[in-house]
Amino acid sequence: MSKLASGRNQKRNSKLLDLFNSSLPFDKKLYKEDIKGSLAHANMLNAQGILDDKEFKKIIDGLQTIEKEIEENNFDFDISDEDIHMAIERRLTDLIGDSGKKLHTARSRNDQVAVDFRLYVQKSNRVLMELIKQMEEIFLDLATKHSSTMLPGMTHLQHAQPINFAYHILAYMSMFKRDYERFESSYKRNNISPLGCAALAGTPHPIDRDKTSKLLGFDAPTINCLDSVSDRDFALEILFNISVLMMHISRLSEELILWSSSEFSFVSLSDEYSTSSSIMPQKKNPDVPELLRGKSGRVYGNLISLLTVLKGLPLAYNKDMQEDKEGVFDSVESAIISLEILKETIKTMSINEERMRSACEVGHLSATDLADYLVKKCGIAFRDAYKITGGIVADCEEKGIDLSQIPLDTLKGYDSRIGDDVLEYLDLKNSMNARVSQGGTSTMQTEKQIEYFKGWLDEI
């Protein structure tokens, strides 16, 4: 079988070159996008009088037949075709004869692959946005149930101040909201069509790029053809967006791993989304969050790989750019399954409210409240109040009690200015609810944040 794109070369390529040069084993994933682009291109060529109605009908019927063949696993993928574009064009010519050879008029594989890949990335953006939205709905449902459920807020993984569980979950909602907005922004910015740019300089044929853009669902054609065939910023953007998303998933996963350990026991993962040890029958391993945590490194590698491929390329298209797809495919698939399984893991886990509450009685979480009391009620400068409180905490450590449990008479013994009302400040629930500043952890402010996120989800 001779190649459609043999050009000036008179000798058949070696099998080794076919194997090294071909992208067909992975870019056949783009068959739907390639056929969609070809249908739009044929439609435009017909409208411009470059294809007559009979030729147009043959091409449309042929492309539809090919799509069915591929989906039914009846298509012969031959590595000598190099890529999905030539594989489909070869089969089209076999099916309908010389009319199939006319489809490539006024385009190049350079703009063809650019449009196929962009269509795939844009579609993936939408899929990931929908999955993030579903994840946010799970978070919101969880937060709505736990705006009064206390747990220790931490810095440096040390007990710091009392917060509520909803507030903690809403922090992740804030992260995932930014993720959603990054994908949304990328979609809007990159919804432009490179089809019709041909190899790099446009075409002398009287084409209508606005028509093909509209048929493919793009907002407009790209501006500069030289840039259009060499641009992979849209691929870098989805890789970056996925990398940030997976970093957020990894941080949440780390907390799920900690929280499900015996030392914390804040949550219990469902048996459906946990595994057992091969030797220790008592074990319940958090494999899902561990794998989610590990996948962040994988998607980071895909981003760095494409950045490295592109960093030294002259304009316009270079064969190096064939390395742009596999990492994107892998990252998209990793992100999709990660969001799907994270959603189910969160939805099915149990919350140990009592264990969270009792953990607040360790680590003197109301120490800042005592310092604030000394400032507000006793007129003591904050640095002095800080020092007095630190001394009281040190004594509590020696006595083996938490600051929130110290008797009133003992407290008054540290400083004569301390009054009976100090216990209100040291109460853990009062401490949490004292954080009434905008964005704070009080139940009142948390419920305002819940309403904000409800409104945002209703709008998107």
Catalytic positions, please? 156, 277
CA dist list (Å): 308 to 23, 24, 231, 312, 314: 19, 23, 14, 8, 13
Q: What is the phi/psi pair of residue 202, to 5°?
A: 85, -165
> How many Cα atoms are found within 13 Å in the side-chain-facing hemisphere of 277?
6
Q: Is 192 helix (H, G, I), strand (E, B) or coil?
A: strand
- Reading the block at residue 138, the tokens are 């799970």
Measured between alpha carbons, how far is 298 from 321 in angstroms, rounded to an integer?
20
At residue 340, what is the residue type?
E
Q: In whole angstroms, give the CA distance from residue 81 to residue 75.
A: 13
Q: Give yes or no for a contact between 428 and 404, defined as CB atoms under 8 angstroms apart.
A: yes
Minimal CA–CA distance to 4: which of 126, 88, 129?
A: 88
Side chain identity at 355, as an amino acid letter? R
- Give all strands (DSSP E) within 288-374, no chain letters: 350-351
